[in-house]
Amino acid sequence: MPLDWSPFVEIVRRHQRFLFTTHVRPDGDGLGSMKALALALQQLGKQVQLVIASSMPPRYRFLDPEGAIAQFSPPGDSWRQAEVAIILDTGTWNQLGNFGPFLRTLPAAKLVIDHHQTQDDLGAIRLVDATAEATGRLVAEAIGALGVPLSSGVANMLFVALAMDTGWFRHSNATAPTFALAETLLRAGAQPTALYEELFEANTLPGLKLKGRALDRLQVVHNGQVAYTEIRLSDYEETGATPQDTEDLVNFTRSVAGVEVGLLFVEQQRGGVKVSFRSRARVDVARIAEQFAGGGHRLASGATIEASLPEARARVLLAVTAALDATR
């Protein structure tokens, strides 16, 4: 059933000062959705501040050449005048980082626009559709509900959101409506060739070296049904790469023939291990991620485990193999 955008439209009409954020380690869908909606509201004369609880990934800096997206730092006084806070592409506290405590005390109306099935109570109006291929799809609907015409800038941002969360239209969540929306965005001025070059053909040498380490460590277990690899803290210093260079590495694990679930384990600088899950179809990896206080989609999810790399690997592999065995 289509979402009812009337509460969103009413809030936008009644307020002037907006604050947008997305999840930590933001991706193309989160950043593209945030920028697109900000540009649309600015067309209506609204004041919009953009903030993220982690650094801007170098890969996506071209989306924000004017530097409108700030990195959040407590106590956040410069953002406390917002009348409305909109959280895009997540609905969980653990994905908000140090912005979460600030949000809890912010005396503003709150909205979540998201397509993930895992949701916490953020004290917000939820505009969530887990069947949507990207939050960018929902933002396109929201902009349409406002009656704001698609500018070329908005179209570019929405195209990034849509394309990145469908694996550049390769994943099973890319359907006929996905391509119809892509056509609409192209007609509005989106430039997919230029966007692709920025996103996929501007690799750094350190990033490629890190990719080599991930490929070198790739292992297949459980009768060829599970593939995993890992990135260690020492890899960053030794290659010159950054944590943002790990974004697409999990896709190599699922690309191995015969693999049902792919896993990427990444040691975190603050401690613990970030785990990315990818599934072909048999296993709902969102349910597995939820066992570790994570979540996401049926075919793509994540979690952070407060444990050493060997312990996290062992626990996750046990849960994944159990889930696979249960589908026999």
Low-confidence stretches of the chain (pLDDT beneath 70): 1
Crossing angle, helix 152-164 and helix 192-200, to 10 degrees? Answer: 50
CA distance 319 to 321: 6
Helices 135-146/6-14 angle, 10° precision = 60
> What integer pLDDT is reported at residue 297 of this predicted model?
85
Residue 132 has which token pair?
């949507």
Q: What is the 3-state secondary structure (H, E, C) of the chain?
A: CCCCCHHHHHHHHHCCEEEEEECCCCCHHHHHHHHHHHHHHHHCCCEEEEEECCCCCHHHHHHCCCCCEEECCCCCHHHCCCCEEEEECCCCHHHCCCHHHHHHHCCCEEEEEECCCCCCCCCCEEEECCCCCCHHHHHHHHHHHHCCCCCHHHHHHHHHHHHHCCCCCCCCCCCHHHHHHHHHHHHCCCCHHHHHHHHHCCCCHHHHHHHHHHHHCCEEECCCCEEEEEECHHHHHHHCCCHHHHCCCHHHHHCCCCCCEEEEEEECCCCCEEEEEEECCCCCHHHHHHCCCCEECCCEEEEEECCCHHHHHHHHHHHHHHHHHCCC
Q: How many CB atoms lie within 10 A of CB 243?
A: 20
Residue pLDDT, tens place only, 224-258: 999 999 999 999 999 999 998 998 899 999 999 99
The CATH architecture of the domain made up of 205-325 is: Roll (3.10)
Task: Tell me whether domains 6-200 and 205-325 share a fold.
Answer: no
Question: What digits encode the pLDDT tens for the residues 183-202?
Answer: 999 999 999 999 999 999 98
Homologous superfamily (CATH) of 6-200 is inorganic pyrophosphatase (n-terminal core) (3.90.1640.10)
State which amino acid sits at residue 13: R
pLDDT confidence of residue 118: 87
Per-residue pLDDT at 1: 65
CA neighbours closer than 13 Å in the CB half-sphere of residue 193: 0
Q: How far apart are CA 31 and CA 54, in angstroms?
A: 12
Map out the domains of the chain as residue ranges.
6-200, 205-325
